[in-house]
Amino acid sequence: MTPAPDPYPPGDHLLRDLGLWMSWHAGPIVRGGIARSANVTNPSGSVVAGALSVLVDLVGGGAAFVASRPHGIATADMALHLTGRRARGPIEAEARILRAGRSTVVAQADVRSGDELLARAGMTFMVMTRPDDSAGPRPFGPDDEPSLAVDFAGPTGLPVPYREALGLVAVDHARGEMEIGVDEYLHNSFGALQGGAVVSLVDAAAQGALAEACGAAVESLDLHVTFLALGREGPVRSRASVLAAGPSWGAARVEVHDTGRDGRLMTVADVTAGLVTEVAGAAEVGA
């Protein structure tokens, strides 16, 4: 007898500490959220890009999963645009499908806190066709019951600041060299490093390199991330190249490699970052 697969996520997991919840609705539309706390915010009060990337990857993937049935999906790329605004209430996202084809699904997700737009993301998912089924995706029809909901919230919430919870280790800030392990706490459903954790590494690498180049702390505002391979062994390491830098903004290219697999290139990303300061009760991007 084949043993039943272990439930995902396990009891001790990033998604549970973030207080992630999701619900599916006709469209398909997927809504979800994470708990607001000081441990998921930047010094300016805005929400860290990595935490938002975990949320949009899950809600976007949830919508793409429905749109691609009966096949599976994997995230191919993500463009995440942040407004630098503070979260003053629950952090919630809504994802919808822009296009569902035989080989790819494109989704868009908005993240809000009340009426405040925190981020918008565009994602492309690769459809993984099952070998025993040549049929195309089955659309979400009026007879489908949009009642599925999950709540992964753990009992304590995120106990430490977000990057500390991920176990991110700074090797060389100026070079954007950061490391993260591939352990069960950060696994996706494939048993590899969760996509949002990879984006979190990219975010930290770009911020470190650009802070040195700009001479001031900056926050990631636009990230375009392309996923090339899963991180299965680790440690996973980033390296950033500064493309441009000024007193209030900068741009960097980040590469991510799985050192446990002979340095296999996993991810490439382009990141723009800027100064974000607290002005009149809302975060404003420095000019």
pLDDT of amino acid 276: 79
Report pLDDT digits (tens) over 159-185: 999 999 999 999 999 999 999 999 999
Q: What is the pLDDT of residue 26?
A: 86
Q: Assess if residue 6 is contained within a domain.
A: no
CATH of the domain at 56: 2.40.160.210
Tell me if 7 is assigned to some domain: no
3-state secondary structure 133-170: CCCCCCCCCCCCCCCCEEECCCCCCCCCCHHHHHCCEE
Domain hosting 250: range is 14-285
Q: How far apart are the first and last CA of the chain?
A: 63
pLDDT at 50: 95
Closest by CA to 61, choosing from 99, 103, 109, 7, is 109
pTM, full prediction: 0.89
Q: What is the pLDDT of residue 285?
A: 45
DSSP letter assigned to residue 234: S
Strands, E assignment, 83-128? 91-100, 104-113, 116-128
Q: Is the distance from CB of 110 to CB of 56 less than 8 angstroms?
A: no
Q: What does the pLDDT look like over 29-43, one tens digit per residue? A: 999 999 999 999 998
The number of folded domains in the chain is: 1
Ranges under pLDDT 70 in the chain: 1-6, 130-147, 278-287
Instruction: Write down the pLDDT at residue 130.
Output: 65
| Burial label, 204 (beta-carbon count in 10 A; 0-12, 13-18, 19+) | buried
